[in-house]
């Protein structure tokens, strides 16, 4: 029997995953809200029961982050996420406009491909599985090779829980023979309808270049501005809580701190009091040599590491209990490596004279993580207004970047895929949820006869009276001119439910069928026929 090399085996395995995933997608597309909710609740129970095991596996396999923080990430991506999305309309009729006689319906996208980063290898699987199922899609994951085992375990846990609650077999799958060839094969698979890309810039770019619709995110390089009116102890506490959470592995975490000359001493003293260590010039050079390779590309060896681990590797003596290393910078760009993204326990530090300088510096820093996140600590509403125009999709006020950007400490949607808008080359600028994983279609009832458009258009008559007059003369004369546009009354259909209409169960007579008025029951029948036509039933 002929043996194939590993790449060829992985490609064949990827094709089989896609085919099985497509079968599952076709099946789950017909599930009701009740069925989907039952599946999601079982997935949450399984995720929460295994949150600690998955967190431990992730840290052991990758070396990134902190176990207790990864437990909370897993909780966020399952229990907290479910509470947020449980009542979102992603199935069937999601909106009705009785005046305009339109109905908006949600249909699933189909088979999704989810790319998983090594920084959040289990929580990303939980999160993307939940939002995929909520929108009645199946999903197949491409794990990062450095986190293949823990990612595979998360996939199995979520799929087993979904199937146990009634989902189709293979509704959640993942590549087991992890190669770039397999990932590329999935990206270009005809069965895959959409890609959700979370990972390095190269992987996200590949997803957008695949020819498939893709939801991707760019790099984060979030500055945190401590403005002169800020409560300094509170601001530092929030920044430290954010940057130390899972050792800074979430892309919304702060990468630079900007303070003003007038509050610099207070800010430095407070950071020191709360466990930060300010590097001198030589120490900063040593740390940068460890953190970056080929200029400002972050070395995987020091992603998600504690301040103590980094200091020890750099041969630097720091006080016991040091939580974050801070290096002062005097510019942005290649000569100042800490001005770039650092998904670890290290911050850049800048001092400016006023908010105008802070504004210019923030924009310069954001060019290396444009469209992602910025945070401001201030008591001035005017400053908030001035900084709200910065090129970032999330402007966070008086909160930590990690917790605020992901929706944990703000009113933003809970998410682990954070859109960067066109600034960052992303197709969306908000936090990704199940509403982004549906096809939205509209059923529109005719309100005006096409040949009578000009006669009903008073605005056209205002701007083009002679043409309106001419068209009016050419228009056919109706046997009985209606007192209002045809088909604009009689509908009392309620969004998401056909049983709510007062006359939904009443029989419809032949006379009523021949009328121009469409009642709720007939409109419901028309919608069902249209849905079946789309499905090829």
Between strands 371-377 and 346-352, the pairing is unpaired
The whole-angstrom separation of Cα 393 and Cα 372 is 5
The whole-angstrom separation of Cα 313 and Cα 135 is 46
> What is the CA angle 127-416-57, rounded to 5?
65
Give the other-Cβ count within 10 Å of 204's Cβ: 24
Active-site residue 359, yes or no? no
3-class SS of residue 380: coil
The 3-state DSSP composition of the chain as helix, strand, coil percent (nearest 5) reads: 45, 15, 35
Of 68, 150, 251, 262, the catalytic one is 251
Is residue 323 within 8 Å of 239, Cβ to Cβ?
Answer: no
The two structure tokens encoding residue 16: 């089989």
Q: Phi then psi for 193, rounded to 5 degrees?
A: -95, -30
The two structure tokens encoding residue 71: 């437990």
Strands (E), 119-191: 138-142, 172-174
Instruction: With CA atoms as reference, report the closest residue to 348 among 454, 248, 450.
Output: 248
Angle between helices 232-244 and 264-273 (to 10 degrees): 50
The whole-angstrom separation of Cα 524 and Cα 510 is 17
Element holding 502 (H helix, E strand): none
Between strands 324-328 and 276-279, the pairing is parallel
The whole-angstrom separation of Cα 65 and Cα 302 is 10
Give the list of residues 6+ apart from residue 446 with CB closer than 8 angstroms, or none: 486, 487
The whole-angstrom separation of Cα 253 and Cα 364 is 17
The two structure tokens encoding residue 205: 């770019």
Looking up tokens 């000009």 gives: 454
The whole-angstrom separation of Cα 347 and Cα 357 is 19
Residue 255 Cα to chain centre, angstroms = 20
Active-site positions read: 251
């Amino acid at each position: 029997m002929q043996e194939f090399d590993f790449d060829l085996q992985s490609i064949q395995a990827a094709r089989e995953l896609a085919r099985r995933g497509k079968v599952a997608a076709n099946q789950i597309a017909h599930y009701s809200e009740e069925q989907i909710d039952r599946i999601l609740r079982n997935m949450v129970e399984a995720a929460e029961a295994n949150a600690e095991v998955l967190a431990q596996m992730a840290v052991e396999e990758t070396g990134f982050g902190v176990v207790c923080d990864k437990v909370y990430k897993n909780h966020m991506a399952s229990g907290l996420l479910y509470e947020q999305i449980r009542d979102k309309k992603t199935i069937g009729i999601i909106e009705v406009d009785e005046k305009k006689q339109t109905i908006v319906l949600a249909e699933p996208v189909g088979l999704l491909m989810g790319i998983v980063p090594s920084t959040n290898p289990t929580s990303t699987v939980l999160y993307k599985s939940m939002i995929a199922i909520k929108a009645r899609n199946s999903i197949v994951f491409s794990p990062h090779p450095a986190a293949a085992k823990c990612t595979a375990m998360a996939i199995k846990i979520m799929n087993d829980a979904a199937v146990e609650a009634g989902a189709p077999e293979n509704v959640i799958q993942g590549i087991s023979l992890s190669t770039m060839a397999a990932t590329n094969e999935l990206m270009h698979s005809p069965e895959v309808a959409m890609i959700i890309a979370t990972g390095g810039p190269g992987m996200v770019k590949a997803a957008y270049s695949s020819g498939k619709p893709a939801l991707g995110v760019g790099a984060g390089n979030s500055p945190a501005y401590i403005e002169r009116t800020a409560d300094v102890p509170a601001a530092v506490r929030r920044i430290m809580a954010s940057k130390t959470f899972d050792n800074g592995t979430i892309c919304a975490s702060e990468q630079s701190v900007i303070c003003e000359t007038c509050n610099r001493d207070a800010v430095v003293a407070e950071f020191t009091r709360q466990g930060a260590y300010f590097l001198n010039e030589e120490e900063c050079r040593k740390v940068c040599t460890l953190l970056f390779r080929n200029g400002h590309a972050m070395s995987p060896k020091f992603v998600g590491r504690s301040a103590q681990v980094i200091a020890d590797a750099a041969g630097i003596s720091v006080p016991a209990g040091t939580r974050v290393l801070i290096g002062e910078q005097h510019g942005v760009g290649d000569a100042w490596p800490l001005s770039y993204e650092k998904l670890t326990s290290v911050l850049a530090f800048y001092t400016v004279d006023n908010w105008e300088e802070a504004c210019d510096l923030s924009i310069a820093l954001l060019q290396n993580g444009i469209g992602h996140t910025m945070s401001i600590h201030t008591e001035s509403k005017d400053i908030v207004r001035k900084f709200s125009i910065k090129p970032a999709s999330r402007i966070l006020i008086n909160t930590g970047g990690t917790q605020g950007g992901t929706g944990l400490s703000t009113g933003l949607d809970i998410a682990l895929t954070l859109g960067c808008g066109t600034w960052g080359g992303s197709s969306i600028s908000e936090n990704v949820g199940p509403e982004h994983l549906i096809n939205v279609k509209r059923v529109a009832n005719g309100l005006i006869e096409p040949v009578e458009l000009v006669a009903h258009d008073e605005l056209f008559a205002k701007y083009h009276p002679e043409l309106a007059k001419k068209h009016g003369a050419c228009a056919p004369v109706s046997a009985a001119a209606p007192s209002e546009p045809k088909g604009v009354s009689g509908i009392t259909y309620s969004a998401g439910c056909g049983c709510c209409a007062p006359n939904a169960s009443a029989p419809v007579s032949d006379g009523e069928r021949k009328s121009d008025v469409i009642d709720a029951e007939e409109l419901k029948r028309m919608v069902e026929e249209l849905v079946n036509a789309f499905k090829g039933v």
